[in-house]
């Protein structure tokens, strides 16, 4: 079950009061929203997730936030981006249903679409040209061996198209060290499949547009590429970016997934 990250810090920084409107744009397992409603029963919460398997009020991408919420003007918006543990681990999937290939630890169809729509990770590997694949591995995965891996991907698909996660793990090869050699390639491919960085940039713009004056956007990100986008956005709209809030040692001990989380707060004057 997904554990909400930086829960205490999110609750105290949302600054909500009874009667105000909170939009959780990345509902996931609902951990943050449920705590908000427990603490502030008088708040109106609207939840969004692009994954139709979650129980959000609205299924959609936060890059379309303005259209998804219509005339609503929220007082606070939360983006807790990336994957939930449920998506990664497939807990909760009915027996016989396969996961979507987010993890290199299990052999599953190489899909990686959070929304279930658009081009799959396998289709990217089977059709994009070598320089484009190299570019995503380098740009979205900061993978040192991007050229070599891209070359091997294109070689392999000439005889055997990519179907499953282990097809890709086999091609990457490499020695096991502290970090699995497939980690960066999988991250890069997931970001490309879901257009995650473009969605974040557009989502921030839309959130800023719909937010009430005096309102706040809270963003939790999990790697430097995302945090850079949030930091630059904060600098542009507020003229400055404060230091991000990070999890306590206690939280990292209880939930290792939280270790790379960074929370930034963007306030609208
Ligand atoms: C880290 S989880 C959120 C967990 C949630 N805060 C909780 O405590 O249960 C991220 C969720 O955001 C969703 N998501 C990621 N990018 C999205 C986007 N661009 N638009 C809408 N939902 C998105 C994913 O499908 C996933 O369910």
Residues with a CB atom less than 6 Å from ligand 1? 2, 4, 26, 28-32, 48-51, 54, 61-63, 80-82, 84, 114, 199, 203
Q: Report the alpha-carbon distance of residue 193 to residue 239 in Å, rounded.
A: 32
- Tally DSSP H helices, then E strands, for the chain: 12, 6
Q: What does the pLDDT average to over 11-25? A: 97
Q: What does the pLDDT average to over 219-245? A: 96
Specify binding-site residues.
30-32, 49, 62, 80, 87
Reported as a pLDDT band with limits 50, 70 and 90, residue 179 is confident
Output the pLDDT for position 205.
Answer: 98
Q: Report the alpha-carbon distance of residue 218 to residue 224 in Å, rounded.
A: 17
CA-to-CA separations, 82 to 116, 120, 146, 154, in angstroms, rounded: 15, 17, 22, 28
Residue 92 has pLDDT above 60, yes or no: no
Which of 26, 100, 117 has most ligand 1 atoms within 8 Å of CB, for mutation?
26
For ligand 1, what atom is nearest to the CA of residue 24? 6
Output the pLDDT for position 23.
Answer: 98
Residue 174 has pLDDT above 80, yes or no: no
- pLDDT for 138-159, tens place per residue? 999 999 999 999 999 999 999 9
Report which protein residue has its CA nearest ligand 1's atom 20.
61
- pLDDT for 237-248, tens place per residue? 999 999 999 999
184 alpha carbon to ligand 1 midpoint, in Å? Answer: 20
| Domains along the sequence of the chain with CATH | 7-86+196-267 (3.40.50.150), 97-194 (1.10.150.170)
81 alpha carbon to ligand 1 midpoint, in Å? Answer: 5
Q: What average pLDDT does the chain have?
A: 94
Report which protein residue has its CA nearest ligand 1's atom 1.
84
Q: Which secondary-structure segment (H or E) carries 156? A: helix 146-159
**Tokens 């983006």 -> residue:** 79
Cross-strand bridge partners of residue 164: 109
Reported as a pLDDT band with limits 50, 70 and 90, residue 97 is low
């Amino acid at each position: 079950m997904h554990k909400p990250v930086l829960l205490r810090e999110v609750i105290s920084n949302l600054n909500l009061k009874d009667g105000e409107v909170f939009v959780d744009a990345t509902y996931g397992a609902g951990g943050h929203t449920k705590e908000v409603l427990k603490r502030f029963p008088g708040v109106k919460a609207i939840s969004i997730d692009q994954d139709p398997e979650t129980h959000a009020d609205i299924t959609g991408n936060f890059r379309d936030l303005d259209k998804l919420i219509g005339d609503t003007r929220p007082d606070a918006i939360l983006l807790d981006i990336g994957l939930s543990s449920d998506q990664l681990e497939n807990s909760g999937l009915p027996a016989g249903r396969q996961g979507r290939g987010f993890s290199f630890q299990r052999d599953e169809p190489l899909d990686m679409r959070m929304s279930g729509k658009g081009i799959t990770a396998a289709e990217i590997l089977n059709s994009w040209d070598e320089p484009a694949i190299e570019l995503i591995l380098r740009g979205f995965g900061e993978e040192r061996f991007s050229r070599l891996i891209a070359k091997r991907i294109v070689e392999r698909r000439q005889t055997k198209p990519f179907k499953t996660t282990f097809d890709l793990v086999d091609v990457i090869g490499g020695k096991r060290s502290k970090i699995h050699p497939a980690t960066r390639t999988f991250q890069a491919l997931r970001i490309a499949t879901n257009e995650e960085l473009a969605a974040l940039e557009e989502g921030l713009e839309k959130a800023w547009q719909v937010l009430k004056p005096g309102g706040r956007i809270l963003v939790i990100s999990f790697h430097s590429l995302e945090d850079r986008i949030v930091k630059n956005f904060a600098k542009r709209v507020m003229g400055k970016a404060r230091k991000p809030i990070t999890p306590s040692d206690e939280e990292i001990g209880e939930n290792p997934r939280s270790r790379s989380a960074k929370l930034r707060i963007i306030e609208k004057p």
